[in-house]
């Protein structure tokens, strides 16, 4: 499993949904269920944090096709 | 012959009727230069339209003024549509305008219509050509001018709604003769150099001339040829440009275009909240169901434990004891009843009772009962037992007819 802090919002949210699906199917050993829950919780926190701290990145495309910061 | 004298009002009504029944004056286009342009706080426009030889006062009511895409100022050459009527209080005729457009715009409208029909016939507007764009874009291409207010509007919307996105501006002029080739180049560069998920092509409101680059056939074809889906937001709600018909989706304004291509952060947070609640709920359920199972097993354990067996055995012993006791009691009662019956029977058979009733028992010297005449040997001694005592007697003889009282 990836380091959660490195995940993008989409990646983290996708994994969170996978975890929920897994838990929904049931029949998991309790220990595994609790582990999934803990990771899910961390993913949820990470998503929240990423969204809260997100700042729109704005670049400009030059005539040569380079991406530069918008002055 | 007396002269008919009219009042001013009567005459004015008469003149006014002449205007109002004249079909030319009720539906007319006039062209001239704008002067004395006044926008009243009520929203009505008052201005004068003039040329070298004449002038006419014009009024445009608020409802019509609000719909105009042009913003006429003094000196502009304008084409105005409306009706000419009399304003009785001043005894003036004036134009009641409902439409105003810059001179030459009429030609532009005709061009617009021709191009629209042409491209429509080619199938460029077909709904099957419209491409889906992702509900959640990672990268967003923007074709507009870097200095345009429309670009700032777009950025504001994106910052508020979906700051996770990356915006790539492909700058271009958005009006004037150089605008069309620049717009095409901006679009091509995004297609060529970037992997944006969707492109929005935006420009703020303006006159039909201002927006004309977006009615350019070359631009329309470039939009149609874009590999990346294009959403257009050109002008205001009421403005339609040719690119709007060709693009994959038209938005009424630049801000609306930015909204259309992004999810709302609030919705995302809500969804995240719901998913997290599910996570909590499912985990809680998982633990709860196990606890229930555990409690069930614990219940069973108590049931099958030696302690319980002993308890049950003890109870069983108690039960047996009780039963035994009950049986014993019954047995005693039974025996007592039987005994009583026997006693009663014995009682009934007791010779003493018979003696009590007046009978006597006769026994010989050996103690044998003498119960018949044959046993009563003459001369033998017998004992006669009465209820209250015994006497000795001697058998004298048989009954010989003595007048003896009969014993029995």
Chain A residues inside the 8 Å CB shell of B171 = 60-61
In chain A, the percentage of residues whose pLDDT exceeds 90 is 46
Q: Is the ipTM, as predicted for this complex, more than 0.85?
A: yes
The pTM assigned to this predicted structure is: 0.58
Give the C-alpha distances (Å, rounded to integers) separating A55 from A51, B1, B164, B289. Answer: 9, 92, 7, 43
Chain A residues inside the 8 Å CB shell of B173 = none
Total number of residues shown for chain A: 71
pLDDT bucket at B393, cuts 50 / 70 / 90? confident
Separation in Å, CA of B130 to nearest CA in chain A: 26
Residue A31 contacts B where some CB pair is shorter than 8 Å: no
The CA dihedral of A59, B196, B229, B176, to the nearest 10 degrees, is 20
CB B259 within 8 A of CB B198: no
Q: Could you read off the pLDDT of B145-204 as tens digits, one per residue?
A: 999 899 999 999 999 999 999 999 999 999 888 899 999 999 999 999 999 999 999 999
Q: Could you read off the pLDDT of A7-30 as tens digits, one per residue?
A: 988 899 999 999 999 888 877 888
Identify the DSSP state of A4. Answer: G
Three state DSSP letters for A36-49: HHHHHHHHHHHHHH
Q: Could you read off the pLDDT of B234-250 as tens digits, one per residue?
A: 988 777 899 999 999 99
Residue of A nearest to B287 (CA): A30
Q: Average pLDDT of B328-343?
A: 84
Considering only CB atoms, B166 lies closest to which of A24, A28, A59, namely: A59
Residue B193 contacts A where some CB pair is shorter than 8 Å: yes
Indicate whether B274 pLDDT > 90.
yes
pLDDT bucket at B379, cuts 50 / 70 / 90? confident
Residue of A nearest to B169 (CA): A60
| Calpha distance B306→B314 (Å, rounded) | 12
Considering only CB atoms, A61 lies closest to which of B159, B168, B287, namely: B168
Separation in Å, CA of A61 to nearest CA in chain B: 5
pLDDT at position A1: 60
Chain B residues inside the 8 Å CB shell of A9 = 164
Q: How many CB atoms lie within 10 A of CB B343?
A: 10
Indicate whether B402 pLDDT > 70.
no
CB-CB under 8 Å, B268 with A51: yes
Three-state DSSP class for A60? Answer: strand
| Calpha distance B120→B140 (Å, rounded) | 28
CB-CB under 8 Å, A50 with B159: no
| Calpha distance B307→B242 (Å, rounded) | 90
Considering only CB atoms, B272 lies closest to which of A33, A44, A70, namely: A44
Chain B residues inside the 8 Å CB shell of A70 = 146, 169
Three state DSSP letters for chain B: CCCCCCCHHHHHHHHHHHHHCCHHHHCEEEEEEEEEEEECCCCCEEEEEECCCCEEEEEECHHHHCCCCCCCCCCCEEEEEEEEEEEHHHCEEEEEEEEEEECCHHHHHHHHHHHHHHHHHHCCCCHHHCCCCCCCCCEEEEEECCCCHHHHHHHHHHHHHCCCCEEEEEECCCCCCCHHHHHHHHHHHHHHHCCCCEEEEEECCCCCCCCHHHHCHHHHHHHHHCCCCEEEEECCCCCCCHHHHHCCEECCCHHHHHHHCCCCHHHHHHHHHHHHHHHHHHHHHHHHHHHHHHHHHHHHHHHHCHHHHHHHHHHHHHHHHHHHHHHHHHHHHHHHHHHHHHHHHHHHHCHHHHHHCCCCEEECCCCCECCCHHHCCCCCEEEEEECCEEEEEECCCCCCCCCCCCCC
């Amino acid at each position: 499993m990836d380091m959660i802090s490195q995940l993008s919002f989409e990646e983290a949210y996708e994994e969170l949904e996978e975890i929920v699906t897994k838990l929904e199917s049931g029949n998991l050993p309790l220990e595994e269920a609790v582990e999934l829950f803990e990771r899910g919780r961390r993913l949820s926190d990470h998503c929240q944090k990423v969204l809260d701290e997100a700042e729109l990145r704005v670049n400009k495309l030059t005539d040569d096709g380079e991406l530069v910061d918008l002055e | 012959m007396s002269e008919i004298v009219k009042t001013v009002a009567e005459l004015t009504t008469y003149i006014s009727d002449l205007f109002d029944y004249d079909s030319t004056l009720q539906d007319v286009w006039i062209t001239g230069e704008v002067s004395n342009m006044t926008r009243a706080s009520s929203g009505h426009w008052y201005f004068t339209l003039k040329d070298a030889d004449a002038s006419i006062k014009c009024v445009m009511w608020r409802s019509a003024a609000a719909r105009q895409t042009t913003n006429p100022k003094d000196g502009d050459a304008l084409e105005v549509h409306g009706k000419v009527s009399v304003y009785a209080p001043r005894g003036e005729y004036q134009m009641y305008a409902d439409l105003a457009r810059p001179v030459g715009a009429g030609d532009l409208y005709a061009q617009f219509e021709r191009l629209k029909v042409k491209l429509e016939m080619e199938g460029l507007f077909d709904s099957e050509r419209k491409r889906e764009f992702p509900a959640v874009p990672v990268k967003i291409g923007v074709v507009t001018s870097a200095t345009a207010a429309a670009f700032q509007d777009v950025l504001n919307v994106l910052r508020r709604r979906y700051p996770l996105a990356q915006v790539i501006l492909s700058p271009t002029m958005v009006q004037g003769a150089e605008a069309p080739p620049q717009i095409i180049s901006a679009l091509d560069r995004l297609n060529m150099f970037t992997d944006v998920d969707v492109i929005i092509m935006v420009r703020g409101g303006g006159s039909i001339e201002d927006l004309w680059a977006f009615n350019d056939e070359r631009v329309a074809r470039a939009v149609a040829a874009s590999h990346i889906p294009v959403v257009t937001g050109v002008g205001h709600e009421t403005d339609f440009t040719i690119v709007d018909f060709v693009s994959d989706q038209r938005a009424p304004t630049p801000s609306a275009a930015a909204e259309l291509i992004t999810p709302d952060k609030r919705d995302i947070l809500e969804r995240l909240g719901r998913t997290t609640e599910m996570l909590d709920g499912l985990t809680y359920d998982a633990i709860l169901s196990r606890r229930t199972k555990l409690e069930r097993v614990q219940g069973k354990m108590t049931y099958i434990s030696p302690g319980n067996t002993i308890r049950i055995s003890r109870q069983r012993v108690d039960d047996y004891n009780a039963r035994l006791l009950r049986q014993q009691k019954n047995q005693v009662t039974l025996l007592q009843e039987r005994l009583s019956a026997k006693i009663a029977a014995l009682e009934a058979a007791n010779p003493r009772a018979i003696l009590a009733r007046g009978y006597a028992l006769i026994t010989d010297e050996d103690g044998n009962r003498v119960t018949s005449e044959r046993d009563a040997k003459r001369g033998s001694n017998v004992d006669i037992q009465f209820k209250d005592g015994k006497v000795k007697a001697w058998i004298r003889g048989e009954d010989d007819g003595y007048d003896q009282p009969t014993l029995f």
